[in-house]
Amino acid sequence: MSESLLMKGNEALAEAAIRAGCRFYFGYPITPQNEISEYMARRLGEHGGVFVQAESEVSSINMVYGAAGAGGRVLISSSSPGISLMQEAISYIAGAELPCVIVNMSRGGPGLGGIQPSQSDYFQATKGGGHGDYRMIVLAPATIQEGCDLMATAFELADKYRNPVMVLGDGMIGQMMEPVVFPEVLDATELPPKPWATTGAKGRKRNIISSIYLDPEELDAHNWRLEEKYRKIRESEVRYEVLHGDDAEWFFVAYGTVARICTAVIQRLRKEGVKAGLIRPISLWPFPDEAFEKVADRAKGFLTVEMSTGQMVEDVRLAVNGRKPVYFYGRTGGAVPTPRSVERRLRDMMDGKVPSQTDYFDRVGGAK
């Protein structure tokens, strides 16, 4: 292990990717993740890697398809509108079973939206943003150190399952600075071989990378084979953190930046004797249903807090399955929930009231 460095999230993730053996990066400028591209442009060459700035997100993700199919350890990064443009190729990558890591430092939408942090890409990331029956592993760090650690995990999972993996951050994770410790640079030449890659058919039968199956029986078989792979991922790759799981009665459910805010609120509430806890999904897909199984019987209620109008809360409701009340509080567009407003929602819930979904409804006296 090397010494602790103070680094900006985007740059730290880029460095973590290089240390995890990533040697190919394809990007296109979009705020708030440009430091990843800029870092790769400066540093990837030192490690014998290749940086390409494409003409669009559409092109960059298709370069990823080609490079991943050729056996490279490939990273791409963008932010929400750019990730939307990539959905077609992400579907192709999943269909052709190619490994790659996609970073989304998400910003507020819909449309051009804004450039401030947001979590409104949860549906797109976890429910299949592109067409067809496919799944993408989605990992959501809450700190820069965790983002760096997850970057290595993401490349390993991508190779292991031959599947795209998304590291879903937000503008806050990308832009803030924190101390981070990196592992040594992984020797990219010692990565497991990829005998399926299109490297030239020397001494073997030709390799074909494709996602087209015009025969319905063949496509059906392909889809169910993929589903079997996704089932294994659901069984083996669930990641989450629970705070005060042993005694908490009131649970926040939050990921990424918002989980940090909830953690601060829990510390304050606990000083006043409130048994508050947190379920923090780290893998957004596969969603950590088991975390809820462990506490659902004892818990009195769940408050899901997101920087969206309510996306992950749908998975929380599925996991809780009607056993206990599940409420939602959210801010969007770059507005970040304040500890005070989060605490007020939890206290409302404890008092048997339905917490207001957002500060906006408080101001306009709108829907409860």
Partner 1 sequence: MIPVYTRPKSLTDVVTHYCPGCPHGIAHRLVAETIDELGIQERTVGVASVGCSVFSYNYFDVDFQQAAHGRAPAVATGIKRVNPECIVFTYQGDGDLASIGMAEIVHAAVRGENITVIFINNAIYGMTGGQMAPTTLVGQKTTTSPFGRDPSTQGYPVKISELLSTIKGAHYVARFSLHNPANIQRAKQGIKKAFQNQIEGKGFSLVELLSTCSTNWGMTPQNALKWLEENMIPEYPLGEFKTGEGE
Interface residues with partner 1 (CB under 8 A) are 24, 26, 50, 52, 54-56, 58-60, 62-72, 74, 88-89, 92, 96, 198-203, 206-212
Residue for token digits 């906006």?
Answer: 360
Contacts of 248 (CB under 8 A, 6+ apart): 275, 276, 277, 278, 295, 299
Q: Which is nearer to partner 1, 203 or 365 (CB)?
A: 203
Shortest distance, position 22 Cβ to partner 1, whole Å: 12
Calculate the CA dihedral of residues 210, 81, 150, 126 and round it to 10 degrees. -70
Shortest distance, position 43 Cβ to partner 1, whole Å: 17
Contacts of 127 (CB under 8 A, 6+ apart): none
Contacts of 62 (CB under 8 A, 6+ apart): 89
Point out which residues pair with 137 in neighbouring strands. 165
Q: Answer yes or no: are the C-beta atoms of 357 and 310 closer than 8 Å.
A: yes
Q: Answer yes or no: are the C-beta atoms of 50 and 75 closer than 8 Å.
A: no
Q: Which is nearer to partner 1, 52 or 176 (CB)?
A: 52
Report in angstroms the alpha-carbon separations of 44 from 36, 38, 47, 51, 149: 11, 10, 6, 7, 19
Residue type for 162, please? R
Shortest distance, position 49 Cβ to partner 1, whole Å: 10
Q: Which is nearer to partner 1, 62 or 153 (CB)?
A: 62
Q: Which is nearer to partner 1, 72 or 355 (CB)?
A: 72
Q: Which is nearer to partner 1, 57 or 178 (CB)?
A: 57
Shortest distance, position 69 Cβ to partner 1, whole Å: 5
Q: What's the rounded Cα separation, in Å, for the pair 314 and 153?
A: 26
Q: What's the rounded Cα separation, in Å, for the pair 50 and 71?
A: 14
Contacts made by residues 356-363, CB under 8 angstroms, sequence distance 24+: 356/329, 357/309, 357/310, 357/328, 357/329, 357/330, 358/309, 358/329, 358/330, 358/331, 358/332, 359/331, 359/335
Shortest distance, position 58 Cβ to partner 1, whole Å: 7
User: By C-alpha distance, which of 297, 176, 303 is closest to 250?
Assistant: 303
- What would the two tokens of residue 255 be? 């990921």
Shortest distance, position 187 Cβ to partner 1, whole Å: 17
Residue type for 304, please? T
Shortest distance, position 17 Cβ to partner 1, whole Å: 16
Residue for token digits 């040697």?
Answer: 23
Shortest distance, position 92 Cβ to partner 1, whole Å: 5
Q: Which is nearer to partner 1, 59 or 263 (CB)?
A: 59
Report in angstroms the alpha-carbon separations of 134 from 16, 137, 196, 214: 27, 10, 20, 17
Q: Which is nearer to partner 1, 88 or 241 (CB)?
A: 88
Q: Which is nearer to partner 1, 18 or 265 (CB)?
A: 18
Shortest distance, position 227 Cβ to partner 1, whole Å: 22
Q: Which is nearer to partner 1, 53 or 263 (CB)?
A: 53
